[in-house]
Amino acid sequence: MPELRKDPVMGRWVIISTERAKRPSDFKVEPEPKSNSDQCPFCEGHEQMTPPEILAYRNDGSSRDAPGWRVRVVPNKFPALRIEGSLDRHGEGMFDTMSGVGAHEVIIESPQHHEDITGLSQHAVEELIWMYHDRVIDLKKDPRFRYVMIFKNKGLAAGASLEHTHSQLIALPVVPKRVSEEMAGSREYYSFKERCVFCDMIRQELRDGARVVADNASFVAIEPYAPRAPFETWIIPKTHNPNFENAQKQEYEQLARILLLVLKKISVTLNQPSYNYMIHTTPFHHEALAYYHWHLEIMPKLVKFAGFELGSGFYINPTPPEQAAEFLREAKVE
Amino acid sequence: MPELRKDPVMGRWVIISTERAKRPSDFKVEPEPKSNSDQCPFCEGHEQMTPPEILAYRNDGSSRDAPGWRVRVVPNKFPALRIEGSLDRHGEGMFDTMSGVGAHEVIIESPQHHEDITGLSQHAVEELIWMYHDRVIDLKKDPRFRYVMIFKNKGLAAGASLEHTHSQLIALPVVPKRVSEEMAGSREYYSFKERCVFCDMIRQELRDGARVVADNASFVAIEPYAPRAPFETWIIPKTHNPNFENAQKQEYEQLARILLLVLKKISVTLNQPSYNYMIHTTPFHHEALAYYHWHLEIMPKLVKFAGFELGSGFYINPTPPEQAAEFLREAKVE
């Protein structure tokens, strides 16, 4: 059974993941890319190679764990957390631990062996976003969970072990540290200004224009003022909304449109880099906050975080965001 | 001139490093290992390939920027921050910025082309630690600086671009976020318990033994209870001391001894992995704290931090620290 442990100084939680327990000889310098379409467990027709599906958008007449799906969600075969069991918090002397209860799911974005979202149609990306929505709505009903982190690892350098395009989610029994920090920072700004920090940011960025990559009716994509890494890009809804899962149908359409556009621009500009993206939204049981604003963060994997970044939480970024925004604005995509 | 910028939500600072400005075509998937001993700028006899030295421990009769040194400190050729100039804090609308003033130095650990600290003698490692000490003492006199982060990147995967064994330091005009968080966490523990959290940790770890890797008269090396990554190892002074630079001569000897031992154990157990280490100490102008305790953190680079870690600040660790400690305790080294 995996275990959650809390660092007594930093207050951060780590998952000691016994399902993936590793001995020294298991660490390779670089894992090999694991798949071609013949052996790929995520390709249509190979449904038996994954655990049974949790949810899929299917064509009429197709059946569970068989071909005929468009987006398919399955449990991660090597889950970081386990879905069974109750929360058990206790101490070990001065330390704090909790049973490793949570959900770890894989969202297979396409039945075909595309290697990136950029190979998908606008409609397919919309369905992917609806799937994120549906899984959050469902997991929110489980009283053990406080947060669902939706994220994507694309490419070996960004931590993907299979190339077939997919996202993941992890439902957690505690609010993760990074999210708590964003909430606290936003709350502090709000208590000083009585305005949402993200709403202020969008207003200033749209007026200045120098860090704007693209925008549409509902969203703006910017290079943030203080990016951790070159070409870090945020997609933020233009209208204040604390919860990803409470957006409207037209907004999800617009999100799919801008996400696909921005990922294509990144792919063209940086020669199909590895990247991560993650959705930051309000934790469960905190509805209708005036101070927090959900958004999606994209981090192309171009530089390494080393001792200085690990030790300080400072980041050294060799590309000013204004330059990055200009390259992305000018990138021509179909 | 590089620039420091603050994220308005998270409060973290980033360095926009114009000295290293990068265009999209500059990002390669993997940089090539840059050196062999003929062309290595850190080897004895190649002193002209680096900027002029700041400080060196030299044999009698040798002269500045010439052979005859044992440990040598030079400015980083591509510094993240610049030593010249005054601090200039100002706003850009809602955002905060500061001129990128700081020091970025390279500490060359040996005149010979060793690729790791593990190739050095006990005496050479002692001198390296004295050099850390001397540079901190000197930089502390500069009223612009609030912190010096001493760190080491060993191996390509850990961000080293030259293989000749070296450490780095960056002096900063603000206290870095990770250090502030450790200080805040330690202060909170102290206000509740009236004891130092690190002192409590050492006491419990030495009593339990399961996570202890090694100890000597002045230091203990442990796998922390909630490690971010497999084989993360902390070296902590047994006696309460908030400041790295205020230790006694015998303690630096003992530190060199345990650091060399632990790095050799890691090297043998994990087949010479890339790794980072960093020293966490009290920021300048905070002397004699009862609640904070300096230490050194070693992070072997065995797993990738991906979207989940970036987005959540949670870590998934596949190796329980008790197992890692056992492997390291049992590792035989000369």
- Residue B292 distance to chain A (closest CA, Å): 10
> In terms of Cα–Cα distance, which of A205, A213, A251 is closest to A232?
A213
Contacts of residue A181 in chain B, CB cutoff 8 Å?
A: 10, 313
Asked if A316 reaches chain B (Cβ–Cβ under 8 Å), the answer is yes
Asked if the domains at B3-174 and B178-330 fall in one CATH topology, the answer is yes
Query: Which SS3 state, helix, strand or coil, does residue A262 take?
Result: helix
Section B302-325 average pLDDT: 93
- Residue A69 distance to chain B (closest CA, Å): 26
Locate the domains of chain A by residue range. Answer: 34-174, 178-330
Q: Is B164 a catalytic residue?
A: no
d(CA A70, CA A126): 11
CATH number assigned to the domain covering B178-330: 3.30.428.10
pLDDT for position A24: 84
Residues 197-256 on A with a CB inside 8 Å of B are 197-198, 200-201, 204, 208, 224-228, 230-231
Alpha helices in B43-196 (DSSP H): 122-139, 177-193
Q: How far is CA A228 from CA A58, A181, B160, in A?
A: 39, 16, 19
pLDDT > 80? residue B104: yes
pLDDT > 90? residue B189: yes
Section B288-294 average pLDDT: 91
- Residue A193 distance to chain B (closest CA, Å): 11
Contacts of residue B185 in chain A, CB cutoff 8 Å?
A: 8-11
pLDDT for position A25: 80
Which of A13, A15, A16, A268 is the best residue to mutate to test the B interface, defined by the most B CB atoms within 10 Å of its own CB? A16
CATH number assigned to the domain covering A34-174: 3.30.428.10
Q: Quick: pLDDT tens for A32-72.
A: 555 677 889 999 999 999 999 999 999 999 999 999 999 99
Closest residue in B to A148 (Cα) is B312
Asked if B184 reaches chain A (Cβ–Cβ under 8 Å), the answer is no
pLDDT > 60? residue A263: yes
CATH 3.30.428.10 fits B3-174, yes or no: yes
Q: Which is the catalytic residue, given A166, A280, A293, A295?
A: A166
pLDDT > 80? residue B19: no
* Interchain contact, A177 vs B92, CB within 8 Å: no
Q: How far is CA A58 from the centre of its chain?
A: 24
What percentage of chain A reaches a pLDDT higher than 90?
A: 87
Contacts of residue B232 in chain A, CB cutoff 8 Å?
A: none
Section B255-270 average pLDDT: 98
pLDDT for position B25: 80
Size of interface A-B (CB pairs under 8 A): 278
pLDDT > 80? residue B34: no
What percentage of chain B reaches a pLDDT higher than 90?
A: 87
For residue A302, give the amino acid letter: L
pLDDT for position A23: 81
Burial (CB < 10 A; 0-12, 13-18, 19+), residue B180, is: middle
Contacts of residue A297 in chain B, CB cutoff 8 Å?
A: 310-311
Section A161-175 average pLDDT: 95
pLDDT for position B221: 98
d(CA B74, CA A90): 50
Closest residue in B to A297 (Cα) is B311
Asked if A31 reaches chain B (Cβ–Cβ under 8 Å), the answer is no
Which of A223, A228, A282, A312 is the best residue to mutate to test the B interface, defined by the most B CB atoms within 10 Å of its own CB? A312
Higher pLDDT, B251 or A29: B251
Element (H, E) at A107: strand A103-108
**Which DSSP symbol is given to A101?**
B
pLDDT for position B28: 64
Asked if A194 reaches chain B (Cβ–Cβ under 8 Å), the answer is no
Mean pLDDT of chain A: 94
pLDDT > 90? residue A167: yes
pLDDT > 80? residue B113: yes
Closest residue in B to A315 (Cα) is B14
Closest residue in A to B104 (Cα) is A308
- Residue B59 distance to chain A (closest CA, Å): 31
Residue B314, C-beta contacts closer than 8 angstroms, at least 6 positions apart = A12, A13, A14, A15, A149, A172, A176, A177, B308
Torsion of CA A175, A177, A182, A183, to 10 degrees: 40
Contact B232, B273 (CB under 8 A): no
